[in-house]
Amino acid sequence: MTQKHIHILGVCGTFMGGVAIIAKQMGYQVTGSDINVYPPMSTFLEQSGIKIIPNFDVEQLQPAPDMILVGNAMKRGNPCIEYMLENRLPFTSGPQWLHDNLLRNRWVFAVSGTHGKTTTTGMLSWILDQNGLEPGFLIGGISGNFGVSSRLGNSDYFVIEADEYDTAFFDKRSKFVHYNPKTLIINNIGFDHADIFDDLKAIQRQFHHMIRTMPQSGLVLSNAAETSAKETLAMGCWSAQQFVGEEQEWYAERITNDCSQFAVFHHGEKVAEVTWNIVGQHNMHNALMAIAAAHHAGVSVENSAKALAGFVNAKRRLEVKGEVNGVTVYDDFAHHPAEIQATLTALRDKVGGGVRILAVLEPRSNTMKMGHHKDEIAPALVRADHVYLLQPDNIPWEVVDIANNCIQPASCTADLDKLADMIVAEAHPSDHILVMSNGSFGGIHQKLLTKLAQKS
């Protein structure tokens, strides 16, 4: 092995932390640094024997490691980046290193799309694992089944969450361009990441670049109803294509209203039923994609359905944080109008029409903070009975604009504690409080549970 010591800048990000654990399992000496050192990733890294330095002081690069992996959060001006460049130390990106040292020798299942990546990657990894294929995987969250975000695996199969975000400060291509998949899932393609993409066409172009790297023996799975995916495939595709949707190769039909039980159809024939502890039409769609991808590797639909019965989703996917005095508090990662709508629809299908849902939203993603999708948020919240919005102090627009466009009662404030008080004052037994953010939301979940317990 020529590269004995790998040092990772930005090691506590979900992706780079996952790369670190895989490199350690491959036999490399791995160290890393970050200023955002917190569980669960910091715990997993330490348990794997990976030393974390909680700063970017240049001493960590003395003596020089054999290779520096640069996380995409690292920017020019960072002391380690400047030292690395000035002293001509060897460096690369996480995705490029992963390709060169692992993925090019594997059957890669890449799970892409604006929404549903983490969940679908977890499902596919679990299906392959339960059918004895011992896959490696890298998931953009802590898997509910495996308890980790990544592993090397013991076979040719590797499942990876294929993120369209950029690779590094020196490589502005999407991360997934480096993965060279044999099986590609495109769940959907929508506009997001307005901080790095000018428009939807720029994102579609990156998807096209990934498709260009696939072999003819490969397979692209996409949604027949997705116009943006169709447009992308029309730019050129040299692999087989299969589609999900009515009158397509793959189709799913719910048996229960909340999709906790659904039927799977292949070429028009019902071939299996899935009964599981997950809800929502979007998750039924995710499962169908995972089933179709596993089928490409020879796993029968029936065996995939059996595996999904034991699937446990990653945290922050309609996760119950607690129940107090008959009020249930959920946490969800939804941060895009399509995700907000899908999550609310799933919860509505689960609890029924006669139960109140209080939706709580923090506009926190880069795209939201820039004001993109602002006009789409109120319509996405339509399944909620009452809406509560936090006004962040770092955005150039007012969330009251969303509140004014809501058809149901909507409240907003810049004070987190006041927001929690407003929600608790409104909450009644049997209500469901759905908190949505791609950040910690100031710990509002526990604030709500504590205040609900104190409510007389």
Which of 91, 114, 104 is closest to 171 using CA atoms? 91
Q: Is 117 annotated as a binding residue?
A: yes
Q: Is 140 annotated as a binding residue?
A: no
Quote the tokens at residue 110.
Answer: 């890449």
pLDDT for 401 equals 84
Distances (CA, A) of 384 to 19, 341, 352: 39, 10, 12
- Mean predicted confidence (pLDDT) in 275-293: 91
Q: Is 455 annotated as a binding residue?
A: no
pLDDT for 103 equals 97
- pLDDT tens-digit map of 420-456: 899 989 999 989 999 988 777 788 888 889 888 887 6
64 DSSP assignment: P
Q: Is 31 annotated as a binding residue?
A: no
CB atoms within 10 A of CB 165: 16
List all residues 6 or more positions away from 62 whose beta carbon is below 8 Å from its beta carbon.
Answer: none
Which of 68, 57, 63 is closest to 20 using CA atoms? 68
Phi, psi for 221 (deg, rounded to 5): -110, 125
Distances (CA, A) of 381 to 149, 193, 348, 366: 31, 21, 11, 20
- pLDDT tens-digit map of 53-69: 999 999 999 999 999 99
pLDDT for 453 equals 87
Q: Is 118 annotated as a binding residue?
A: yes
Residue 175: strand, helix, or coil: helix
- pLDDT tens-digit map of 286-337: 999 999 999 999 999 999 999 999 988 776 777 888 888 889 898 987 767 8
- Mean predicted confidence (pLDDT) in 252-263: 92
The per-residue pLDDT of the chain, averaged, comes to 89
Q: Is 115 annotated as a binding residue?
A: yes
pLDDT for 44 equals 85
Residue 99: strand, helix, or coil: helix
The whole-angstrom separation of Cα 413 and Cα 285 is: 36
Q: Is 116 annotated as a binding residue?
A: yes
Threshold 0.85, pTM exceeds? no
